Amino acid sequence: MSALDAVAYRRAATTIARWCEWYTRDLDPSVAKARRDEVESDLHEHGVYAEELGISPNSLSRAMLTRLVLGAVQDLSWRRRQIRQAATRPEIARNRLSAGGLPVLAYTLAVMLLVWGGFVTIRIGVSLGRGEWWYGSDLPVTVLVSALSCGLGLMLMTRARTRSMGALWLMIAVYGLVRYGGKALVYSSATYSHLAFTVPGWDLGNRGVVIGLVMLFLAMAIWWWPSRPDPRLAIVQTSSV
Amino acid sequence: MARRKPGALFPLEVNILECGLALQSTGEDFYGFAMARQLSRRDDGKGLTAHGTLYKALARMTEAGLLEAEWEDATLAEDQGRPRRRLYRVSGEGEIAYWRARAMAATPAVALRTAFA
């Protein structure tokens, strides 16, 4: 049996072709096609070369996959270069923000908010356990629901399809945890109540944090809102293949 | 990632130009896999250059005008029952860059010897 017909060779070739499809996605169709065709030719020539030398299909497959792995970073670097060449300056700035800064900030703040929610919930729980909580159940329930909303929002934000919804959930969590969580701590933490009553502008700062975080998560929700694929783009891509 | 001075070539690019000129001088086709094979032979059978490394370098060198590239006639490839190849050729500019790189590679050794003389 020819090396080109061996299962091991075909599997490796399919893996490499898929990888190539992945890193050339959304690129200029002519550039993407040129790279795929070139890699396809390379895989074929590699198979023929291995056959001439009598290399076993398994060794050939290993060599092909090694070439894939060793060049993967360069593939991604080439992709980045293609994207940058195709993009205009405002697009580059926007991509940098959407790919790095803002999402990282949103995720970090969401995690911090969850930690804060956990802390306030535990603090209220301790006060309840000691029998030191005399202020009704509204605040503990609000904080607990907000902490759960925060956890849910964070979970939704981990998936591309639902991250916009996650950011919206976090807006609710922000209000509940920062505003009502603060109030709950006034009743359950001596340090917090001391700060709240002695530091000038504490309440104003608290409101500022709430507004700032709500605005940020609203902006992220809009930014991440799933967009419909442009039908014109689909036509261009289909016709160019 | 390594940064380079303007006009300077990476060692891989010098090797590609050298192997490309060698392939051209023997009348062999210069395409991606032929280059990988030639580079491997040059390095005493060391593994074939990774896809990403090789094709990124070839693309970069083509953009820089060191290589010229064109797709092989599809009918010819079909007749031989294989995908068409992208054929490269070392351009005049590429040849000049190669000899300049060789000369530059030779210079520091002399300078070093002079410095320690």
CA-closest candidate to residue A74, choices B59, B106, B34: B59
Chain B CB contacts of A75 under 8 Å are 51-52, 56
Residue B88 three-state SS: strand
Cβ <8 Å between A72 and B36: no
Chain B CB contacts of A38 under 8 Å are 32, 55, 86
> What token pair was written down for A193?
């109540």
Q: Which residue of B has its CA nearest to A16?
A: B51
Q: Interface pTM (ipTM) of the complex?
A: 0.84
CA dihedral A54, A55, A57, A58 (to 10 degrees): 150
Q: How far apart are CA B72 and CA A181, in angstroms?
A: 69
> Is a pLDDT exceeding 70 seen at residue B110?
no
Burial class of residue B82 in the structure, from the number of CB atoms within 10 Å of its CB (0-12 exposed, 13-18 middle, 19+ buried): middle
pLDDT at res. A88 = 64
- Asked whether the beta carbons of B51 and A76 are under 8 A apart, the reply is no
Q: Which residue did the predictor score with more confidence, B40 or A189?
A: B40
Q: How far apart are CA A10 and CA A5, in angstroms?
A: 7
Nearest to B48 among A38, A63, A69 (CB): A63
pLDDT tens profile A76-100: 999 988 888 877 666 666 666 555 6
Interface mutation vs chain A, best among B51, B63, B71, most A CBs within 10 Å = B51
Where exactly are the structural domains of chain B? Answer: 11-115
pLDDT at res. A16 = 96
pLDDT at res. A236 = 43
pLDDT at res. B66 = 95
pTM (2 decimals)? 0.57
pLDDT at res. A208 = 92
> Is a pLDDT exceeding 60 seen at residue B115?
no
Cβ <8 Å between A67 and B82: no
Cβ <8 Å between B86 and A34: yes
pLDDT at res. B23 = 92
pLDDT tens profile A62-74: 999 999 999 999 9
Share of chain B above pLDDT 70, in %: 85
Where exactly are the structural domains of chain A? Answer: 3-86, 90-224
pLDDT at res. B117 = 46
> What token pair was written down for B93?
């500019």
Q: Does B83 touch chain A (CB under 8 A)?
A: yes
Question: How much is the average pLDDT of B5-28?
Answer: 88
Class of domain B11-115: mainly alpha
Confidence of residue B108 (pLDDT cuts 50, 70, 90): low
Fold of the domain built from segment(s) A90-224: Four Helix Bundle (Hemerythrin (Met), subunit A) (1.20.120)
> Is a pLDDT exceeding 70 seen at residue B4?
no
Cβ <8 Å between B50 and A37: no
8-state DSSP, A28: -
> Is a pLDDT exceeding 70 seen at residue B28?
yes
Q: How far apart are CA A63 and CA A200, in angstroms?
A: 68
Confidence of residue B5 (pLDDT cuts 50, 70, 90): low
Cβ <8 Å between A41 and B83: yes
pLDDT tens profile B43-82: 776 789 999 999 999 999 999 999 999 999 999 999 999 9
Cβ <8 Å between A75 and B33: no
Share of chain A above pLDDT 90, in %: 41
Low-confidence ranges of chain A (pLDDT < 50): 230-241
pLDDT at res. A184 = 86
Among A175-189, B25-39, B102-116, which stretch is predicted with the lowest mean pLDDT? B102-116
Nearest to A35 among B33, B55, B83 (CB): B55
Q: Which residue of A has its CA nearest to B88?
A: A38
